[in-house]
Structure 1
Amino acid sequence: MAGIYIIGILFMLISWLVSWRLKSKFKQYSQVPLSSGLSGKEIAEMMLADNGITDVRVISVAGKLTDHYNPADKTVNLSEYVYEARSAAAAAVAAHECGHAVQHARAYSFLKFRSAMVPALSIASRYMQWILIIGILMLQTTPLPLTIGVVLFALTTIFSFVTLPVEFDASKRALAWISSRGIVTSQELTMSKDALKWAALTYVVAALGSLATLLYYVSLLMGRRD
């Protein structure tokens, strides 16, 4: 059991390091002016237009690294910096989020599966932690609550792993487009690749951390049966 706790602490440390590295890289590449002189907003609108997407809006949202694509209202949400900035970092992020819009328009299978999971996941996440706590407290009496908690947590773990191909594919689409369209130079493309690589690693660490936590709860459940 001690090994499980060590693994949990290890993943927390790795997660912090990857997050710190991502912020460091983003700050570094944010200081590199984009040779094309385009802003994140302009890059996003160009990528959408080049892919024949006319029903998606590009808007600015508050915060740092808050960039995301919302399939519900079809908006590419760029953080204030990315929206206005003309840097290698802004180009990478803006194109990546538009990559999700392209996935949506092309009915990319993993994105469809991920979106289909959201309603069930939102309900599960609302009660999951309480069910797990109750399950652990009642484990010596009945395994049912913890079993339910494990099933719900397994859904979140599956969601984390389904997210990986969605993120990787969005980055692949983004990098191919900014390169072929001449948005970035070869040096700026290398920076964009590096920034998106560290962003992707945050999802990888989150997925593996979720799996490690799931295995911990499963070990509790199996230990009770022993």
Structure 2
Amino acid sequence: MSTWIILILIPMVLGIWAQMHVSSVYKKWSQVPSRGRITGAEAADAIMRAAGISDVEVVEVSGHLTDHYDPTNHRLALSSDNYRGTSLAALGVAAHEAGHALQHQAHYAPLKARMALIPVTGFASQILPFVIIGGFFFGMFGLIKVGVAIYLVLTVFQLITLPVEFDASRRAEAQLTNLGILQADEVVGVTQTLRAAGWTYVAAFVATLGNLLYLLMLSRRNN
């Protein structure tokens, strides 16, 4: 099996599968309402209030699964389906984002490290296409080493993202039951939804690592 297939193609297929899997699982549990009929926005707000967080605004945003926590602006953004929805999937996603707010309050080290890397990864992602085009299409092989450095930064970022996301999911499941938002037998829907979402982060890390190793191999060939 060629190196290209191992380092590039297989991670690409894993990424496609992860996206399809999370869409399928989310669709399944978005059709199962919680018994308490509490909305995602209400659940997120309840979790943060219970932790003494009062300076984070829960807002509704457009798009599908565009949910995120913005630590800089103290905003917890939920897509319409999860902001207004009462399904197990909606509560899981909303609680997960609230979990990030809890991490921020607790000065969770991996989250702080991830936040510190965001400006660097943003710049690296912007120049990466020019580096790849120059290195491969114009034979400027010195740029491949720059590409290696960029992918090293991106790989570290994706690696740090894993504990951040998994810990947020753990906090979400615990708070949903501790606060009585969900009953014990309802947690399975949340668990499956968040585990499926977790695979997308694993796939992103594997893909970035594969690209790093592939470029590293090419840079050594051209030495």
Category of TM-score, reference length = shorter chain = over 0.9
From the superposition, tell whether residues 137 and 24 of structure 1 become closer, same or farther in structure 2 (CA, over 3 Å).
closer
For residues 63-88 of structure 1, the C-alpha deviation after alignment (integer angstroms, 9 at most, x for no partner) is 11111001111111000000001111
Could you tell me the percent identity over the aligned residues? 36
CA distance in 1, matches of 2:100, 2:84: 20
CA distance in 2, matches of 1:124, 1:70: 20
CA distance in 1, matches of 2:59, 2:192: 25
CA distance in 1, matches of 2:41, 2:146: 45
Q: What is the Cα deviation at residue 135 of structure 1?
A: 2.5
> Does the 8 A contact of 1:37 with 1:86 survive in 2?
yes
Partner of 2:20: 20
CA distance in 2, matches of 1:124, 1:152: 6
Partner of 2:211: 213
Ranges in structure 1 where 5+ consecutive residues have no aligned partner: none
Q: What is the Cα deviation at residue 143 of structure 1?
A: 4.7
Partner of 2:77: 77
TM-score where L is the length of structure 2: 0.95
Which 4+ stretches in 1 moved above 3 angstroms? 136-139
Count of paired positions: 223
Partner of 1:203: 201
CA distance in 1, matches of 2:100, 2:141: 41
CA distance in 1, matches of 2:124, 2:170: 31
> Does the 8 A contact of 2:60 with 2:83 survive in 1?
yes
Ranges in structure 2 where 5+ consecutive residues have no aligned partner: none
> Does the 8 A contact of 1:110 with 1:162 survive in 2?
yes
Amino acid at match of 2:168: A
State the secondary structure of the residue aligned to 2:181: coil
> Does the 8 A contact of 1:30 with 1:90 survive in 2?
yes
Instruction: State how 1:64-213 maps to structure 2 within 5 Å.
Output: 64-137=64-137, 143-213=141-211
> Does the 8 A contact of 1:69 with 1:75 survive in 2?
yes
Q: What is the Cα deviation at residue 166 of structure 1?
A: 0.4
State the secondary structure of the residue aligned to 2:78: strand
For residues 43-101 of structure 1, the C-alpha deviation after alignment (integer angstroms, 9 at most, x for no partner) is 01100100100100000000111110011111110000000011111110000000001
Amino acid at match of 1:38: I
CA distance in 1, matches of 2:70, 2:190: 22
**Alignment of 1:36 onto 2:39:** no
> Relative contact order: is structure 1 or structure 2 higher (C-alpha 8 Å, sep ≥ 6)?
2
CA distance in 1, matches of 2:89, 2:199: 16
Amino acid at match of 2:83: Y
> Does the 8 A contact of 1:135 with 1:147 survive in 2?
no
State the secondary structure of the residue aligned to 2:52: coil
Amino acid at match of 1:28: K
Q: What is the Cα deviation at residue 7 of structure 1?
A: 3.8
Backbone CA RMSD of aligned residues? 1.5
For residues 149-172 of structure 1, the C-alpha deviation after alignment (integer angstroms, 9 at most, x for no partner) is 210121011101110000001001
